[in-house]
Amino acid sequence: MPNRLELTGITKQFPGVLANDGVSFAVKPGEIHALLGENGAGKSTLVKMIYGIMQPDAGEIRWNGQSVTVPNPKAARRLGIGMVFQHFSLFDALTVLENIALGMDAKIPSRALESRIREVMQTYGLLLDPHRTVATLSVGERQRIEIVRALLLDPQLLIMDEPTSVLTPQEVDQLFTVLRKLAAEGCSILYISHKLHEIKALCDTATILRGGKLVDTCDPKQETSRSMAEKMIGTGLRDIVKAEGRTFGPPKLVVNRLRTQKTGHFDVPVDGASFTVRAGEILGIAGVAGNGQNALLDALSGEILGDDREAITIDGLGIGTMNTTERRKRGLCAVPEERNGHAAVGDFSLSDNSVLTARDRLGMVVMGLINSGAAKTYTGKVIADFAVKALGPASTAGSLSGGNLQKYIMGREILQKPSVLVVSQPTWGVDAGAAAAIHQALVDLASAGSAIVVISQDLDELRALSDTLAVINMGRLSQARPVKDFSVEEIGLLMGGVHGATEAA
């Protein structure tokens, strides 16, 4: 039996980078094949070429033994290749049915399509109401649309691009059940991820990429997570060094029944959140994206002004009605989730971006004039301390890669030595080495007596980093408890809320 998909010497050159350099591997029928690698290792480029979004500069793609060229996604689907993207190609204002119809190449009457959709949903246990508007669905439900859309084409190969990054653990289990069922029916699956325990649980083979080159093809069940991670990053992995038996100081950040107004149709406001973070403590806030994290961060940073002065206090001082500048002066710094355009101005130099958040705390503005020397020196220190790959303080924020910009932004806030730091997704899109450095910097800042709030969707990160943990669901925050007292299952149930719990049952 020929291989379902066989790549030989695939090479793709972008201006300045060799995204794929002679990559060769094969996927057998019915095999669940992992494609592993850091951000920027070339995984996405590789699958985009398989799916016809991009064309390789050199190399051969063989499909069921035949050499093929895939000029566009339509041609890929005709061959029997389906893809579920990491960022869903969905239209919020349209219904499930309309969304699926848009993804079908053949023109099928909507009634016939609906019955086929129901059939596929029944077979694989992917339950959804075809007439619901996508905006009202959870992320897990949205992913089901993408999967149903791909399955309607009876694919022989299904490409999944980081499918679990937005799911609760229960939703991950449901997804794996579907994928195993598909594989048992002979459909091959190319599974892109950097979550090693998932790959060990699900995949038969793993191909590891680093810097565009194939490093190794191995059996993940024979490897440890650590050995695969080291192959991915090419060096030994650093662990977070946490001083054992740390004690926490007095309460520093106290949040009491914090609320925000609903601003848009799809906005999830914060609904009476209360928690306390002591000096030296890292509080993790877990939750599936879109459950009020953005509103919580904005309410804490001061971007959303509250009307209750005592809803947020630092060292007993009510700051609930203050704006961001006043809060920064009192020691509260924040890093929003969106790097480019929110945390940093893309067209500004790094130096100017430093002035934007550090001017008051570090005296960069004297009598209304910017002290550019101080800004440059400080930015240089951030670049050096956090190993930011940038030409210097004068390079624009927009010229940095996502991971490097994140390192700069985290460094810019951490080196201000805030007494309270609130960060959202601190290592999103950052490679493992840099993520470890950012984690260590956060732990060190906490050891120096700051109170830190980390909002993240990455459970592994939160479990490694935080001392206490709370879960946010539909704007409501659960009770914060020591992280050791939580099991993954319990976090998962809280993340899904009651809604998720009934569905899982």
Partner 1 sequence: MSPELIIAIIVTVVGASTPILIAALGELVVERSGVLNLGVEGMMLVGAITAFLVVFLTGNHYLAILLAAAAGVAASMIFGFLTLSLSANQTATGLALTIFGTGLSALAGQGYSARPVTLLGPLFPAELALHPIWRVLFGYSALVYFSFALVFAVWWFLKKSRAGLILRAVGENDLSAHSIGYSVIGVRYAAVAFGGAMAGIAGACFPLLLTPQWAERMTAGRGWIAVALVVFASWRPFRLLAGAYLFGLVMTMELYAKAGGGPLSAIPAELWAAMPYIATVVVLVLISIRRDASNNAPACLGKPFLPSN
Pick the closer one to partner 1 by CB: 145 or 437.
Answer: 145
The region of 91-99, 169-177, 332-340, 422-430 touching partner 1 under the rule CB under 8 A is: 91-99
CB of 113 to partner 1, least distance (A): 11
Among 55, 66, 69, 72, binds partner 1 (CB under 8 A): 72
Query: Which residues, numbered 94-123, are part of the site for partner 1 (CB under 8 A)?
Result: 94, 98, 101-103, 105, 107
**How far, in Å, CA of 221 to CA of 116, rounded?**
37
Cβ atoms 72, 47 nearer than 8 A: no
Residues 177-190, buried b or exposed e (16+ Cβ, 10 A)? Answer: ebbeebbeeebbbb
Of 239, 194, 84, 228, whose CA–CA distance to 428 is shortest? 194
Pattern of binders to partner 1 over 256-285, x per CB under 8 A?
-------xxx--------------------
Instruction: Please report, to the nearest 10 degrees, the dihedral formed by the alpha carbons of residues 221, 227, 231, 235 taken in order.
Output: 170
Of the candidate residues 2, 69, 78, 91, the single one contacting partner 1 (CB under 8 A): 91
Question: Is residue 73 at the binding interface for partner 1, with CB under 8 A as the rule?
Answer: yes
Cβ-based nearer residue to partner 1, 99 or 188: 99
Strand runs (DSSP E) across 260-406, as ranges?
Answer: 271-278, 282-286, 312-314, 317-318, 332-335, 365-366, 369-370
Binding partner 1 by CB under 8 A: which of 92, 162, 173, 216?
A: 92
Q: Which of residues 432-451 bind partner 1 (CB under 8 A)?
A: none
Is 5 a binding residue for partner 1 by CB under 8 A? The answer is no
Longest dimension (CA), the chain: 77
Q: How far apart are CA 351 and CA 376, in angstroms?
A: 5
Residue type, 481: R
Q: Does the protein bind partner 1 through residue 88 (CB under 8 A)?
A: yes
Reading the block at residue 62, the tokens are 């063989």
Size of the site for partner 1 (CB under 8 A): 23
Q: What is the dihedral of CA 220, 223, 227, 230, to 10 degrees?
A: -20
Tell the smallest beta-carbon distance from residue 96 to partner 1 (Å): 13
- Of 72-80, 284-292, 459-467, 474-482: span binding partner 1 (CB under 8 A): 72-80
> Which residue lies nearer to partner 1 by CB, 91 or 323?
91
Kindly list the residues in this chain that would bind partner 1 in the complex (CB under 8 A): 48, 53-54, 72-74, 85, 88-94, 98, 101-103, 105, 107, 263-265
